[in-house]
Structure 1
């Protein structure tokens, strides 16, 4: 079975369950998007972009297309109809910050409303793709978000006993009030960019160590996987690490702030795997 990069089944429209060709704010997407919960999520995203970022332009927005990622053997998420390109000619691949700072902030607020089941190509650490938005969560999570958007909450599956986290626990390596975060966060935000040393190792080493612990817990972390897809676990805290930290915080019912501080660090070693 062919899978697109995000793990969804790819193929002809018939093979993936059909396409939703509904227009959004009067604008169509060639061949539409995947029918069902994916369409609910992507249509919500597009309408919010239309009203809060910039209006959709007819003929400039694209959906399903069975193809491979440029420069890769992986199938594009367009091939599973779980990705869209938005006002593409104004936001060409390879050009960063084609949206204003205010627009970029609004885009990230919209993605947060969708519980980060959608990733924006403008946050890629490698070649940027500002036009591109793609589903990156699994079917079950997308179904839950779609149910919330349509006012029909999905039933919560019964909880299962957790497995102990893999050990041994590694103590939090930073001084009080310091956290792992973006370079722009000030002196107390340790980004892995400047090779600062803490507890005998570089900051990059510690960021990699924590991400490896999530991998040991079963999280799909690494180049070509759901988290840290582009650059892999390189220890440099950018948008992909922010996405991973927020996803883990949300999973563990922690405060979701994108900062890898002592509570988020410890949860990876102490909290059971559900």
Structure 2
């Protein structure tokens, strides 16, 4: 999951060269929905749920709200700072909101892991925080990124009871379909209507980007994510925030000749250490309990 989501940044950037970002997100989820549906029907899974209202709320939070604010904010703030805000706040909001819902515990180990992860993110993106954004309002962009992060974290937390009562694949279908439909009016409001947007979908860059985003980012990685939310809880599933950036930066270095030095290398090591610290918590607790 972390590997795939780390690899989707470059295709997303390439596709955004020919179609607006929120429109791209809407098309991604509107295409992913039917793909999830085909797999669910092939497995004989029922699409019914007694908690459809909760499904709608989770869809609007984890898909529509997140991508609307996130894309709007990234367009108005340096991408390095946006990444630090989004990825460093994600585990904080996941454990905080999860604790409010009685799903997570705030422990010293988790606080330490989050602190290490944030330090690693700052080092990893230290050379990417000063990009010029002429004619924009970076502070409002970063606030929007933070709001989008809250939306995703909140949606992930309220999705966990749904994953316990229905297959994650079916939930992924509903969240992609509902969230994608709701992104359409958001795109029209912010980006406007232009037939060129649809024409851009047939550009090779858009086809490449959407193929990776739909089949990799959604059909595989998001399905895995919801399964991990069910089995691990939102906080541990959200630790991709400390792994995916390493993949994304590595891809940028290899294919886009982006800078890489000691700060990035140390940052990667610290982020992996933070992830290991969090993922080892359950095993350590079990060992202590059995002793």
TM category (shorter chain) comes to under 0.3
> Which has the larger helix fraction?
2
TM-score after normalising by structure 1:
0.23
> Which has the larger strand fraction?
1
Determine which structure has greater relative contact order: mean sequence separation of CA pairs < 8 Å that are 6+ residues apart, divided by chain length: 2
